[in-house]
Amino acid sequence: MKVVLISTYEMGRQPFGLASPAAWLARAGAEVACFDLSREPLGEEAVRAARLVAFYVPMHTATRLAARLAPRVRGLNPAAHLCFYGLYAPVNAEFLRSLGAGTILGGEFEAGLVSLVERLGRGASGPQPEPLVSLERLRFVVPDRSGLLPLGEYARLIAGDGQRRTTGYTEASRGCKHLCRHCPIVPVYRGHFRIVDRDVVLEDIRRQVAAGARHITFGDPDFFNGVGHAAAIVRRLHEEFPSLTYDVTIKIEHLLKHADHLAALRETGCLFVTSAVESVDDRILALLDKGHTRRDFLEAVRLCRAAGLTLAPTFVTFTPWSALEGYRELLALLAEQDLVPNVAPIQLAIRLLVPAGSRLLELPEMLAVLGEFDPAALSYRWVHPDPRLDELCRNIQALVRRAEGHRATRSEIFRQVWRLAYEDVAPSPPDTSDRLDRAAIPYLNEPWYC
C-alpha cells in the first residue's frame, strides 16, 4: 500500500514525526513517501497514487497549515483515506473530521498508523477502531530518515565560536508528568510520559551523526521527566562522540530538583537548556500551574551559570492577567540578569493560546474574558481588559517580524521593544550590547512558534 506522510511545520527540524512512523509502516510492508512542506513542495503524483495520506500535527501552527492543505489533497485524490496524527489531532477531532479525516490518532500514534494501514488493506470501513488517544507503552523502532531531506536543509546551531553546525533531532521520551494549565500536552497525556528505548535513541543519533549532524536537539517536553534515563543516554552519547554537542528542554522545577545533574550535562556536551519560564509574575505562574516562582527562575539562572550552561528561557508574555507594568518589569529583569542575548525576540511577543481541551478552561479568571471558539484559528478568542496590552502585543509581533527580516541583533530588537513598552517616554532602554557578545550564546538559527 502506498502511504504519504506530510509535515507542514516542525520548528525548522527534520521531522521526527515522519521518520518514526515511516519506519513502522515500512516494516509493515507499506510504501512510504514523506514530504516536509516547510522545506519542499508537495509531491502531487505521490498523493494521487496514495491509498492513505496522513498529516502530522504536533503543534498549533502545523495543524492550521495542514487544515488549509487538506482540501487540495482531497482534490488531488478524492479516494484517499485522510488521517491526522499527533498532539493537536485528538483535541481538534471534530474540526478535522469536517475536513474529511477518516482517522484521528493522538498520543503514541505509530501502532495506530500500522493498524490503519492493515485495516485499509483488508478493505474495512466504518468508524475507526483505533483509540483517539493511545498511551500504550510501545516498543519503539529506529526512525527511518531515508525519505527525508538532508539535515543540511534544516535549522543549524550557531555555536559560541560563531560557527554553524548541522543539527539533528530526536526524542528520548514523550508526554510529560506535569499538568501546566496552558500546555497542549496535558489534554492528551494527562500527566503520563513514555520512554523511548535507550538503544533506539542512540542508534537514531548515530545515523544522524553519520549523515553530518554535529549537534543534536532532544525534543522531549522535559528531559528530566526520567532523569536517570536521560543521564544514561548523554553519558553514552559523549563516550561515543566526544565532540558532539546537544541541547535539551527542562522545567525550572526540575532544574532546581536535579541541580546535581547540571554539571554532568555540561561535561557531556550540553550547550544550552530551554525552559518554559512563561512569566515572572507569581500570580500568573500560579494560574498557569507552572510549579515554580519568580525566585525559582532566578535560582535556576544562577545554577545554570554555575554549571557553565546557557539557560534559554521562553515566555507567554501576554495573558489576560498581564499588566503593562508587569511587562515592563519582565524587560527590566532580563536586562538586569544579562539574559537579553538568551531570549529569542519572538518570546517577547507570545500571546496565550487557549486551544480546545485546555485546562485553562477550568479557571473562572479565564472564563471571565473568554470569547467563542474559532475553528479556523483552532483556539478560543479572548480580549485583554486593558486594550493597551493587545495593541502592544500586535505592535511587538510586527516589530519582531520586521527586525528579524533585517537581521537585527537580539539587543537591538530588545531596545526597540523597550521603547514600545514605555511609549517613548523615560526611562531610556538599557544598553545591553556591551555586556555579552551575542556570538557567545549558542542558539538555533530558526525562530520557533507554537
pLDDT tens sequence across 95-132: 999 999 999 999 999 999 999 999 999 998 889 999 99
**pLDDT recorded at residue 432:** 60
Backbone dihedral region for residue 89 (phi beyond 0: left; psi -120 to 50: alpha; all else: beta): alpha
Q: What is the separation, in whole angstroms, between the first and last Cα of the chain?
A: 33
The chain-wide mean pLDDT, for the chain, equals 94
Please name every residue paired with 380 in a beta bridge, in sequence order, or none if there are none. Answer: 373
Q: How far apart are alpha carbons 352 and 372 in whole angstroms? A: 15
- Dump pLDDT digits (tens) for 51-102: 999 999 999 999 999 999 999 999 999 999 999 999 999 999 999 999 999 9
Please provide residue 163's backbone torsions phi and psi, each rounded to the nearest 5 degrees: -75, 150
User: 103 and 81 in contact (C-beta within 8 Å)?
Assistant: yes
Residue 436 has pLDDT above 60, yes or no: no
Give which of 446, 441, 449 is closest to 161, Cα–Cα. Answer: 441
Grid coordinates standing for 243?
Answer: 565532540
Segment 399-413 mean pLDDT? 87
162: confidence class by pLDDT, cuts 50, 70, 90: confident
Cell for 274?
530551554
CA distance 436 to 322: 29
- pLDDT at 437 > cutoff 60: no
Give Rg (Cα) of the chain: 22
In this prediction, residue 438 has a pLDDT band, given cuts at 50, 70 and 90, of very low
pTM score, two decimals?
A: 0.94
CA angle 59, 42, 10 (to 5 degrees): 25
* pLDDT higher than threshold 60 for residue 439: no
228: CB partners within 8 A, 6+ apart: none
pLDDT at 408: 86
The pLDDT tens digits for 387-402 are 999 999 999 999 999 9
DSSP state of 133: E
The pairing of strands 164-170 and 215-218 is: parallel
pLDDT tens digit string along 291-327? 999 999 999 999 999 999 999 999 999 999 999 999 9
∠ CA(272), CA(442), CA(157), 5° rounding? Answer: 105
In this model, does residue 449 exceed pLDDT 70? no
| CA-to-CA dists, residue 181 to 79, 187, 241, 325, 355, angstroms | 40, 9, 38, 24, 11
The pLDDT assigned to 181 comes to 96
Distance (Å, rounded) from C-alpha 19 to C-alpha 36?
Answer: 11
